[in-house]
């Protein structure tokens, strides 16, 4: 939240500076006889409009997720960054075109007032200061939009350098120096715009983070106690933030709640270790189901197994049936078949003798063997394990 406040504050400062620079350049350029400085003043006015847009978009992009935007609003920032990159590209093309026209025409320019030199120098210092201030805020807030706006300030600084060279050249009689420098600066601005455009376009089409970065994330997840492996790790970017989808492999016979607990600890670990990771969806696996066919899908379902268990239980002799007051089935699905854990509740009062418990134990073993025998002929059942607990 602190990064968001600083980003908005820096953008507001940039807007105020550009408002002053715009007015000063156009006024001094008009009365000082420098068309280049007037044009640079119009450029600063366009920067003022851009700063207002960035201020608004930055605030919207950092709103909390809602029903319409469950993943957040950071993609708005991505779109705005692309728009800003297009503006920079247009500036580069126009700057190069105008400068080439001057070079090809070969017509000397009238010498402007020396005051225009001072204003151009002030513009360079001010825009370079805005560049570093905005760049620092952008990195702190992890905002590609602010970083793009910082480079916009840098292009303003470079264009003012061109204006300074133009004015100095015109005063010294070297009129073509301005046009040549402007072409070189235009190429640099175009390269910056192209890099920004490609980077953010990749984000819009859900390009994954670099492999090296994803491996570091997976390695951190594997360090959590209880995690056997991490596979099928998917990533995408949203306004500079990383959204993850992980398949976390745990022990095959853990309870659902313990598996969920391990998954939540992985989420906590990743969010605290990697500041750019803001959202993690995880799926708990007992094996790498992407490396082998999902044979479990053809195995008997719970309702089928419970129906068979009820039928088998009804066939029990009365003396065995009276031993238990209830049963719970825990099912473990493996590629080779279902492992059934039968937990039997055995009623026993506190004053029951040890001898009776031992006699019941022999009968319970007979009961367990009965269940194993009944399920032996059922397709898809690997083994049956019977457990019993004393119910007081």
Has residue 223 got a pLDDT over 80? yes
CATH code, 93? 1.20.1510.10
Q: Which of 22-31, 260-269, 349-358 has the lowest mean pLDDT?
A: 349-358
Range of the domain at 177: 2-204
Banded pLDDT at 54 (limits 50, 70, 90): confident
269 in the same domain as 305: no
Mean local confidence (pLDDT), 278-307? 82
Give one word for 84, left, alpha or beta, with left for phi > 0 and alpha for psi -120 to 50: alpha
Has residue 315 got a pLDDT over 80? yes
> Which of 340, 326, 338, 250 has its CA nearest to residue 288?
250
Has residue 235 got a pLDDT over 50? yes
What are residue 282's DSSP bridge partners?
A: 246
Dihedral sign computed on CA atoms, order 176, 180, 183, 189: negative
Cβ burial 105-123 (10 Å sphere, 16+ → b, else e): eeeebeebbebbbebbebb
* Spatial distance between the Cα atoms of 338 and 331, rounded to a whole number of angstroms: 7
- Nearby residues of 147 by Cβ (< 8 Å), 6 or more positions away: 134, 135, 138, 139
Residue pair 346/322 in contact by the 8 Å Cβ criterion: no
CATH code, 351? 3.30.70.1350
**Of 262, 285, 308, which residue is a domain's last?**
285
Has residue 388 got a pLDDT over 90? no
| pLDDT of the residue at 353 | 47
266 in the same domain as 147: no
Tell me what the pLDDT averaged over the chain comes to: 80
120 in the same domain as 20: yes
**Of 204, 234, 269, which residue is a domain's last?**
204
Q: Is the pTM of this model over 0.75?
A: no
Mean local confidence (pLDDT), 202-227? 87
* Spatial distance between the Cα atoms of 130 and 192, rounded to a whole number of angstroms: 17
Cβ burial 29-41 (10 Å sphere, 16+ → b, else e): beebbbebbbbbb
316 in the same domain as 247: no
Tell me the pLDDT tens digit for each residue of 88-138: 788 778 877 877 887 777 665 566 677 878 888 888 899 899 899 888 888
370 to 110, 302, 318, 327, 339: CA distances (angstroms): 108, 20, 13, 15, 16
Number of domains in the chain: 3
Residue 38 lies in a domain: yes
């Amino acid at each position: 939240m602190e990064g968001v406040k600083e980003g908005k504050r820096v953008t507001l400062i940039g807007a105020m500076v550009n408002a002053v620079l715009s007015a000063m350049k156009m006024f001094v350029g008009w009365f000082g006889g420098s068309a280049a400085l007037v044009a640079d003043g119009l450029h600063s006015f366009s920067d003022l409009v851009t700063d207002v847009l960035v201020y608004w978009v930055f605030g919207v992009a950092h709103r909390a997720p809602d029903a319409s935007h469950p993943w957040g609003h950071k993609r708005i920032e991505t779109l705005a960054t692309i728009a800003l990159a297009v503006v920079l590209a247009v500036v580069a093309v126009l700057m190069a075109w105008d400068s080439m026209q001057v070079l090809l025409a070969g017509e000397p320019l009238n010498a402007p007032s020396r005051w225009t030199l001072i204003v151009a120098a002030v513009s360079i210092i001010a825009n370079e200061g805005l560049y570093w201030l905005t760049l620092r805020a952008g990195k702190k807030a992890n905002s590609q939009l602010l970083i793009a706006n910082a480079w916009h300030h840098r292009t303003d600084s470079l264009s003012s350098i061109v204006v300074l060279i133009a004015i100095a050249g015109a005063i010294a009689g070297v009129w073509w120096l301005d046009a040549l420098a402007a072409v070189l600066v235009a190429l640099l601005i175009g390269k910056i715009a192209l890099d920004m455009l490609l980077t953010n376009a990749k984000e819009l089409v859900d390009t994954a983070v670099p492999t090296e970065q994803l491996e570091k994330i997976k390695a951190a997840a594997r360090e959590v106690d209880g995690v056997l492996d991490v596979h099928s790790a998917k990533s995408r970017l949203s306004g500079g933030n990383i959204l993850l989808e992980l398949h976390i492999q745990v022990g095959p016979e853990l309870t659902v709640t313990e598996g969920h607990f391990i998954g939540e600890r992985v989420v906590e670990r990743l969010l605290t270790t990697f500041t750019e990771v803001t959202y993690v969806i995880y799926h708990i696996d007992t094996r790498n189901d992407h490396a082998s066919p999902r044979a479990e899908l053809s195995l008997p379902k719970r309702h089928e197994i419970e129906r068979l268990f009820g039928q088998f239980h009804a066939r029990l002799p009365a003396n065995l049936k009276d031993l238990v007051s209830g049963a719970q089935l825990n099912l473990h699905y493996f590629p080779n078949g279902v492992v059934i854990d039968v937990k039997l509740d055995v009623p026993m009062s506190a004053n029951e003798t040890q001898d009776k418990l031992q006699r019941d134990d022999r009968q319970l073993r007979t009961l367990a063997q009965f269940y194993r025998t009944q399920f032996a002929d059922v397709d898809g059942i690997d083994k049956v394990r019977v457990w019993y607990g004393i119910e007081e």
